Amino acid sequence: WLKLPKPLGARASQRATFPRLPPADRPNRGEASEMAPKTEPTPYTRARRAYSALQKERLSAECGAYLPAVLEGCPQAIKKQAIPASEKDAETIKGLFPSTYDTPLVEFTAGSNGEAAASRQPIKVGVVLSGGQAPGGHNVIAGIFDGIKQWNPDSEMIGFLDGPHGIFSGNFVEITSEIMDGFRNTGGFDMLGSGRHKIETDEQFENSMAVCNAIGLDGLVVIGGDDSNTNGAVLAEYFKKHGCKTKVVGAPKTIDGDLKCPPHIPISFGFDTACKTYATLVGNVAVDALSAQKYYHIVRLMGRSASNIALEVALLTRPNACLLGEEVARDKKSLRDLTVDLADMIQERSKAGKDYGVIVLPEGLIEFIPEFERLMSELNDKLAAPGVEATEESVLKALSPENAECFKYLPEFIRAQLLLDRDPHGNVQVTKIETEKLLAATVSAELEQRRAAGSYKGSFKAQFHAYGYEGRAGMPTIFDASYCYALGATAATLLAHGLTGLIASVKNLLAPAKEWQCGGVPVTSLCVIERRKGKDKPVIRKALTELEGPMSQPCTAYMKIRDELRMLDAYTIPGPIQYDMENCEASTDIPMTLQLELGREMKPLGKIPVPKKMGDFLYAPQAVEARSELQQWRSARKHQVPASLTEKSIAAVRLHEVQATMCAEQDMSYMRKFFTSIEAPLIELRATEGRDNVPQNQRIGIVFCGRQAPGCHDLLCGVADMLRTSGGSKVFGFVGGTHGLFDKQAVELTPEVCKAYAGTGGLELLGRTVDRLKTDEELERARAACEELQLTGLVLVGGARTNTDAAYVAEHFRKQHSKTAVVGVPCGIEGNMVNEFVEASIGFDSAAKAVAQLVGNTAIDGSSARKYYYFLRIIDGAATGGRISSSHLALEVALQTKPNMLLLTEEVDEKRLSLRELVKEVADMVAGRAADGNNFGTILVAEGLLAAIPEFRTLISELEGFPMPNTPEKVIPELTQWSRALFQTLPEFIQKQLLLERQSNAALQMSQLETERLLAWLVEDELSQRKKQGSFKGSFSPVCQFIGYQARCSVPSDFDSDYAYTLGATSAVLAASGMSGYMAVVSDLSQPVQKWRAGGVPFTAILSVAGASAAGAFRPRPAIFPHRVDLEGAAFKSWCKEREDCAKFEMYENPGPIQLSGPSSGVVSTTIMSKFSYLRELEDLRKHMSALASRCRPGCDPRTVRVATQSLATLNSILDELAGPSEAIEQREK
């Protein structure tokens, strides 16, 4: 619907002057509760300081392409009579709006282009952002700005800061073209800031008019939701009644999608971007569910008053269940009804071998449950009455029998929350109830009852997700960017025509943007009368999800497929939002809800193959036709490969032995105890016109051992494509990871099967189980499986533990004279499977970008609302085997987004910071920002941070000696004095999380610890103490979130797709050539793909030996240790250069969604791009040594020999000093 942009001419701007309010016109302060408003502009200080590559790309995208043709030139305003939303309320509303009730509906038609802009009088227009953030708000402002400049280049624009409060207090800035051009096509409301104030009191109305009169405003645009636009209509009425020349119009904003008045306002802006952002995340966790096949992912989405977001996301992703609040209310469903329905679905899926799934629900679901509404009402009344204590016993006695039963049905933690977590007025805070955890608890209890009765034998494990803030300030989609610009331009045109009391209307949205129809509809015609706080109030009726009626098409479409979705795995993966309109058709999609309401049909369910039971896993390969449009488009992309692999044929590649390798000199004798050879050569793949003895009849198996990571399916493509030219060769995948290998659950992977998964995330084709292949029994089972399947090669894909195991598998096979060559591939989003040979692991780049988008969105949200501190815990290497984990992902995300603070595990460990010292550092930063008037910020917390704190490390070590799960009552008496004291000071939620079930290697799962919540809790306490002492005068409102599962199955970036494919092709060549005991590696990753160098390195060259135990009695086997962030490395130093500015200012960058085409698709993570090439350094060293040998031949000058000899002797002495144990993390082994 949108054609490519055409360049526009330069925009003109002229500085405005602002007269002071004459003394006689100033409101009498007298006993007023508010100060007189300011009437002069505030200097603008909120310009963004930095932009990501995609932000720059979007800034340069010309907004002129979004302008509907009808608004070009001088459009004519056709006035029509508006139809009231409610006939019964019409007279009441007319009485409330006597001056503006008869405002006509307006439609613009193309006018004459002959009238010169200079003949039209310039106008001065103000704009205010009201309510919560929604993507696209800046483009509404851009549309207004360009619209009034088109009307007359001398027109002026001002912006009120931080919401409606800025109007009645006179807090405003002049908006120049320089300011405006720094925010086009960007997300958030940080250009001006937003606020939830309303103009309600007489004094506020008086001050608002005084400010507008003093500034000389011809018009004011209120960008907001239903309440804000109603408030704008009241302001328009007040201004007109009192003879103020300022006209007021609105623009429809809300991500909830509940401001919708067809046909005039078909949708509110921001809804599309928010829903597509959430749908991307839901799609990612759906892939995660298919990859592990052991979790139910329960996702709570924003939408308290309506279920529009949940429905849109369900239409885009097709989860197994989506609960709609409106349906719950209509059918009067109880909590038990919902519980039983979900339990029935879970039980039926379990019978089909599916103990996994995806469930979506709106955050306001609980408020739609009739019995819960009644319980809350009585609970508030009873607890306010004298004699009723906030205890279960007291409350149950006071409640009616019906509500007492409802209360008893709730899980214990919800009952406690209802009694203890109350607002300042003493009411239950329903919005704080985590509905997804409530439902999981009731469903779990119901399933256990069925298990006891013998009707259920499955497993129900839930993973919880709550998506909200990350969707409010994202970079707007092409649709939202266009729609918002058109809304702004429409609002400007309404004001230029002297109209007031209207809300901008843009229709015909299925057509190209140039054909959109624009106008305005009177807000009063949209209003109905509702009872609010004991009074009748005019409000725009909220657009709830329609279950029946003229706008019920989306719900009807979902209902048609709902029953099928319960049992099928028909998930649609929409992928990240795209902006390349030239190459990616999906970039211009409009919301699915809107498409259906405007008459389009929904794509039917694709053909879902009947899954094949293979051990504990289900195997059901999908055809490419069953995938989303974006995935189908993506699968057609041709992988880029190094020059040595250009032909993508094993016959066109030869193996070149570079040089014999070695391990650390001090470890050689110990390494020989485990490995037959420790000096195998380094291998480099080189192109050849014709290879002698091309391997034939190869049978290569692939096992996904490590955790999910983007790009693994591209690795399969690389293996399959490389073996195409090897006669009689086949590729096999083991379904179910290592367990599938032991049980010989292998399937043939043809190039056609693999191609259907090209460019997709996760491990859904083959899945995984446990990353463990260590014991003698496991090694022998692996060998037996390979022998029975006659495999000539076995490729093990994973991180440090996987590749350590692969080294011992290869050695075991060698000793048993097995013909199967074992090859490892580095993979893992945590990025710690790196060393001198391995510059990156598969999935790191994609995961970092996916996480960075969410962090960028959230940081911009914070700088828009200016009242929250976001504590964001980043998934990392905490569970990969390190006693103290790595934080590569957190560091990379910080480099991409520039948060105010990064709490890095390695740095805390290096400084040996105590918990108190760490809390003080955070509190000092918060206090410093508060002193500058900034009570908001974003703090990144590495997942494994607590294990780096000395006292916590001791506590964790002691707890690992207890059987888990456990209870505080049993553990506390057994702890040492110091650990007991620390444990008892921790909040209850952390105590419980420390005692949860351990991971497979018996180590604590750091991902279970809400470290961000603990830090926020401690910082809040510290600041409270400072406030009492008078040293802190700011405010502190923390919001905590974990970002992890929603990113690890992301669609892979171009880099990861090509890198994984290249590693797959390389591993195929190594395995087919019998190079057992090698890891496939690709170096020079900072160079263009064609210059990458592919090859193989012996495991023995990258294994390390940890130090012996204190008593010297035990020395662990050599292992590949997870690599920690190098505090002297380029990546960390880059952060150090910026951290001081980041703490003080808003340096936020938003990298946006992963781009799969266009200029930004080629951007690679800083961590990868800043790596030095070890192999290139070795090559340079060999060149220097060769040059030295050439210059020191017999007959050379004796002085040359003497200088060379002495220099080399000195160098060897230095190298002797350097020889010692390398920096490594001891790997946790059971």
Q: Which residues are catalytic?
A: 256
Distance from C-alpha of 438 to C-alpha of 335, rounded to nearest angstrom:
10
Q: Enter the tokens of residue 1112.
A: 């010297």
Distance from C-alpha of 968 to C-alpha of 972, rounded to nearest angstrom:
6
- The CA dihedral of 241, 242, 247, 253, to the nearest 10 degrees, is -70
CA-angle at 545, arms to 542 and 550, nearest 5°: 95
Q: Enter the tokens of residue 1142.
A: 């980041």
Distance from C-alpha of 832 to C-alpha of 888, rounded to nearest angstrom:
7
Buried b (16+ CB within 10 A) or exposed e, 353-368: bbbbbbbbbbbbbbbb
In the chain, the largest separation of any two C-alpha atoms, in whole Å, equals 113
Distance from C-alpha of 1 to C-alpha of 588, rounded to nearest angstrom:
7
Distance from C-alpha of 859 to C-alpha of 852, rounded to nearest angstrom:
10
Residue type, 387: G
Q: Using alpha carbons, list the distances in angstroms from residue 590 to 55, 104, 283.
A: 21, 30, 18
- Count of Cβ atoms closer than 10 Å to residue 967 Cβ: 10
CA-angle at 486, arms to 485 and 490, nearest 5°: 120
Helix axes 137-151, 478-496, angle to 10 degrees: 40
Residue among 1139, 1117, 1118, 1116 at smallest CA distance from 1127: 1139
DSSP label at residue 1074:
T
Distance from C-alpha of 1187 to C-alpha of 548, rounded to nearest angstrom:
83
Residue ranges in 268-352 assigned as alpha helix (H): 271-292, 308-317, 325-330, 335-351
Please tell me whether residue 673 adopts helix, strand or coil conformation: coil
What DSSP string describes 677-709? -S-PEEEEEEE-SS-SS---S-EEEEEE-S---
Residue among 500, 475, 503 at smallest CA distance from 487: 503
Element (DSSP H or E) covering residue 864: helix 844-865
Place of tokens 């190459």: 583
Phi first, then psi: what are they for 114, rounded to 5°? -80, -25
Distance from C-alpha of 800 to C-alpha of 1065, rounded to nearest angstrom:
21
Element (DSSP H or E) covering residue 519: strand 517-522
Place of tokens 């919880």: 464
Q: Enter the tokens of residue 1138.
A: 């910026």
